[in-house]
Amino acid sequence: MNVVQKILEAHLLEGELNSGNEIGIKIDQTLTQDATGTMAYLEFEAIGIEKIKTELSASYIDHNTIQDGFENADDHLYLQSIAEKYGLYFSKAGNGICHQVHLETFAVPGKTLLGSDSHTPTAGGMGMIAIGAGGLDVATALAGGAFYLPAPKVLKVTLSGKLNPYVTAKDIILKVLQLLSTKGNVGYIVEYSGNGLKSLSIPERATITNMGAELGVTTSVFPSDNITKEFLKAQGREKDWQELLPDPDATYDKELSIDLNSLKSMIALPHSPDNVKEVSEIAGLAVDQVLIGSCTNSSYKDLYTTSKLLDNQVVSPMVSFGVAPGSKQVFQMLTENNLLQNIISAGGRILESTCGFCIGMGQSPSTNAVSLRTNNRNFLGRSGTKSANVYLVSPETALASALTGKITDPEIYFKNTKINFTQPTKYINNNSLLISPLADSDRKHIKILKGPNIGDPPINDRLSDNLSLKCVIKVEDKITTDHIMPAGPYLKYRSNIGKYSEVVFINVDPDFAKNCRNNVSSGYKNIIVGGQSYGQGSSREHAAICPMHLGVKVVLVKSIERIHRANLINFGIIPLIFKKGDDYDSIGKGDELLIENIIKQLKAGQSVTVINKTKNGTYSTDTTFSDREIDYLIAGGKLNLLQRQA
């Protein structure tokens, strides 16, 4: 077996590991962050379980740390009280980004991790099956339930050779994105292999698995080897190590090879992580902003390199330059090893150890700016400035460009500079901002703290057999969950569904919410029509919850991404796929659509037929729902059934 199969088989609760069959797996660990965690724990409360049933679960505060208004601070108090009440670890604001801290503190080879954040696969660099999911799926795992997914196909990526100086792990994953794109990879798990792994540290592997989320795959994983062992030993966790390698005769569904010796510095151009070229192809473009950090590139290795390359250097006066350490551990090691001084002296701003600029929470660039960032997504408007052009690069490319004021190939700029980085034999472990779970006897008297911005999770109506629908919006290919539910200043309303629902699709169609309400008041449910790869990007389940709150009952698209599809089903919205892609062209905004006997059609496993009454057309759609998913859809959502089961 390969590594993926070994871990999944060890955690298999339901089904068989035959590609495409639905399986249920045991989840060992969960993580949440504050932007998605509040709703996840509200859902967990609604299920009605007295204590978490995972081996380990952690709640992180790493998104809304600016605390603009009372809402964020109230959410954080709620999350802390939830952790105390139900037995979770609680990582306070300032302790770092969930994925970086979890890698340092909790990730264990061979275990499973489910997180309410799409970049949970970061821990795959440690040899975990780590999967991003919606909050309700995480709540289910907390309650001891299985996590369901189609048995994945496994894509083997063989890395051979060794990276040249100033070509990095970020360039590896950008190359993979160039080759595979963000579309067409649903249902796969990527497993890395080859002699090139010998020279990749755990932080470098984590960079690759982190940004593997942009491929649309279920997750990515590396074997657990001696490099894994040395990292865990340096973290004081050698007891957590186990060797986990593929069998010599392991088979794979698809294979890809990359020669590290010939790899160049890469860059993702606006406005998609797969719009990748070599840096040399666009070198010379003037740069306004450079930001280093995020869960992709904020490890001690990344920032050690940043500091050393800035020694006796000053960034271009036209560049706004900021650096965000990924965790308190990274920050403290930089401080104690006198590495912050170079960054400060060079003109760098030291930013808080949070997600920050990656989600548009601060550091929005100027109008029409060129911003180079080391994070993982560059969707239009995600930075907080819709007219800005965001490019994704390695820290080395970011630094060379910050110093010159224009996009610069680091292989050329730093060719006479040598840096000898070796992994620390001991990392600093200061857990003053990490609160351990209380003993069972101490949890009984904990009171859950809920501010006025925190409401109950909405419950959907049971599915009607006949649906009269209005097309409330028609969108193009590669619509992300950022398009559907913008982040930035709106994040503080994540626990207030009524308020947050007002900004659904606000940057695409400012009247979306109003039009939804008008349709409902006229006796219709709403249907969204979309193109290829609908719902890519963040795992935010609010991209399903808020449309559901506005009366959206069906999403009809050419193709859909895994997490968003699951979230829609969890909240009783039916995701349908055009059998004929050309049918998309004949539907217009405002068209009246009809689906008759839908419950019967779903139970029969047949193609659901959609009738366009406005255009006098009929569309066939694929229905690949499991029996479990059909039960969710008929009940109006997963939470309805979970409450009964609890």
Q: Cα separation of 62 and 102, whole Å?
A: 12
Q: Is pTM, for the whole model, over 0.85?
A: yes
Look at residue 434 and tell me if it is in a domain.
no
Question: For residue 470, what pLDDT is reported?
Answer: 98
Q: What is the pLDDT of residue 646?
A: 64
Between CA 55 and CA 300, with CA 4 as vertex, the angle to 5 degrees is 70
- pLDDT at position 448 is 95
- Domain annotation covers residue 462: no
Question: Whole-angstrom Cα distance, residue 426 to residue 429?
Answer: 9
Q: Are residues 548 and 629 in the same domain?
A: yes
Shared domain for 310 and 360, answered yes or no, is: yes
Question: What is the predicted pLDDT for the residue at 177?
Answer: 98
Asked if residue 288 is part of any domain, the answer here is yes
Kindly give the parts of the chain with pLDDT less than 50: none
Answer yes or no: do 319 and 246 share one domain.
no
In terms of domains, do 154 and 226 share one? yes
Dist CA 100 CA 89 (whole Å)? 15
- 166 located within any domain: yes
Question: Which contiguous run of DSSP H or E holds residue 482?
Answer: helix 481-484
- Tens-place pLDDT, residues 308-333: 999 999 999 999 999 999 999 999 99
CATH of the domain at 388: 3.30.499.10
pLDDT of residue 548: 97
Asked if 640 and 569 sit in the same domain, the reply is yes
In a domain, 382, yes or no: yes
Domain membership flag for residue 426: no
Do 271 and 258 fall into the same domain? no
**What was the pLDDT predicted at 265?**
98
Quick one: 532 and 590 in the same domain?
A: yes
Whether 495 and 351 map to the same domain: the answer is no
Among the candidates 262, 286, 311, a domain finishes at 262
49 and 139 assigned to the same domain:
yes
- Reduced to 3 states (helix: H, G, I; strand: E, B; else coil), residue 610 is strand
Q: For the domain that residue 592 is a member of, what is the CATH number?
A: 3.20.19.10
Q: Are residues 282 and 226 in the same domain?
A: no
Number of separate helices (H) and strands (E) present in the chain: 23, 27
Q: Given 202, 232, 262, which residue is the final one in a domain?
A: 262
How many domains is the chain partitioned into structurally?
3
443 part of a folded domain: no
Q: Which two tokens stand for residue 580?
A: 């004929």
Last residue of some domain: 386, 413, 440? 413
Q: Examine residue 182 and state whether it is found in any structural domain, yes or no.
A: yes
Residues 81, 194, single domain; the answer is yes
Give the tens place of pLDDT for each residue, 597-625.
999 999 988 799 999 999 999 999 987 89
Range(s) of the domain holding residue 496: 467-645
Q: Do 272 and 256 sit in the same domain of this protein? A: no
